Amino acid sequence: MNHLLSIDDLDRAALDELHALAESFLEVTGREIPKVPALRGKVVVSLFYEDSTRTRLSFETAAKRLSADVMTFAVGSSSVKKGESLRDTIQTIAAMGIDAVVVRHPSAGAAHQLARWVDASVVNAGDGRHEHPTQALLDTLTIRRHRGPAIDGLRVAIVGDVRNSRVARSDVKALALLGAEVTLVAPDTLLPPSLAGWPCTATHDLESVLGDVDVLMLLRIQRERAAEASFPSLREFTARWGLTVDRAARLAPGTLVMHPGPMNRGVEIAPEVADGPRSLIAEQVHNGVAIRMAVLWKLLSGGSGGGMVA
């Protein structure tokens, strides 16, 4: 049984295949009735131990457009409240007969643990500060749709709360697979304690990269993970590492601006920039549904071979 737990589960061919699948599903989502019977009879469970709007809805929309049956497990009103363990919860759900579980959890590695306990496919929809692989797949798809399928050598800066960001960990890996050159931009308190083995460089100085990047990816300050203790104030963070209107004006022409959402408007990104012409933020959300269709289809259709390892 195959899972998508980490970008490490993919090689370049598998990533390319998912992007190609997503392109075809983007065509489906443009139809009058944006639905195909590909996963009819399959059951997909969404199991979210953290609040989420876009990721949960995106996965559920994707599953429904593939005609899968979707079970939404609301942790807040479940036996988890009665102290049921993660293992008991997933095995109870699995006993009902499921094909895939999409899981988000505040602890790193939770999806990996689930994958050891159930036969169903496990899709990691974000585990603590570890990974969020479908976000990286949709981010790289979005970039490729603008800059052509070959993005090797493309210069990408990822700015802000890298340390607490599962998006950054997945994005760095996916971008490196495609040959992009990644620079992390943050104070050391927001960078990982070690970058040994990371295929990227890092700098404290946003000003120094503004003029020569092709893509600027902003990260949300993870206020729920106490990120604010890592710098003196939001005001000081914005002054040094926020994409203000002034800084946006100094970006090279054609530089794309991205944010995985949800945004802290006025903190990591100025509202005018988020809603401005360089911003791909709405498009990221749009592409997210197609990526998740591709992942679910790839895992559940028993489709042609190729690189979904793990």
Partner 1 sequence: MTGPTGAPSLHPVASGVLIRGGRVVDATGPRVADVLVEGGRIAAVGGDLAAGMPSGVTVLDASGCVVAPGLVDLHTHLREPGDEEAETIHTGARAAARGGYTAVIAMPNTDPPLDDAAVVAAVLARGADAACEVVAGGCITRGREGRELAPLGELHDLGVRVFTDDGACLSDAGVMRRAMEYARSLPGAVIAQHAEDPALCGHGSMHEGAWSARLGVPGRPAEAEAVIVDRDLRLAALTGTPLHVLHVSTAQAVESIREAKAAGLAVTAEATPHHFTLTDAACAGFDPVFKVHPPLRTAADRDAVRAGLADGTLDAIATDHAPHRTEEKERPFEEAPPGMLGLETALALTLTELVEPGLLTLEQALGALSWRPAAIAGLSDRHGGPIAPGGVANLCVFDPAATWEVDPTKLASRARNTPFAGRKLTGRVRHTVLAGRPTVVDGRCADGG
Indicate which residues carry an active-site annotation.
54-55, 82, 104, 132
CB closer to partner 1 out of 3 and 105: 105
Closest approach of partner 1 to the CB of residue 50, in Å: 12
CB closer to partner 1 out of 37 and 116: 116
Name which of 25, 51, 56, 49 is nearest 38 in CA terms: 25
Closest approach of partner 1 to the CB of residue 213, in Å: 23
- DSSP per position, 93-128: HHHTT-SEEEEEESSTTHHHHHHHH-SSEEEEEEET
Closest approach of partner 1 to the CB of residue 192, in Å: 4
Name which of 129, 135, 137 is nearest 162 in CA terms: 129
CB closer to partner 1 out of 193 and 305: 193
Please tell me the distance from the alpha carbon of residue 129 to that of residue 70, in angstroms, as a whole number.
Answer: 26
Name which of 283, 260, 280, 271 is nearest 52 in CA terms: 260
CB closer to partner 1 out of 169 and 298: 169
Residue 70 sits at φ, ψ, to 5 deg, of: -115, 125
H or E element, residue 237? helix 234-241
Do the Cβ atoms of 153 and 127 come closer than 8 Å? no
Tokens of 158: 């990822």
* Site residues (vs partner 1, CB under 8 A): 85-88, 105-110, 112-113, 127-131, 166, 169, 192-198
Cβ within 8 Å of residue 253, ≥6 positions away: none
Closest approach of partner 1 to the CB of residue 48, in Å: 14
Closest approach of partner 1 to the CB of residue 93, in Å: 16
CB closer to partner 1 out of 43 and 111: 111
Please tell me the distance from the alpha carbon of residue 42 to that of residue 81, in angstroms, as a whole number.
Answer: 28
Please tell me the distance from the alpha carbon of residue 296 to that of residue 68, in angstroms, as a whole number.
Answer: 10
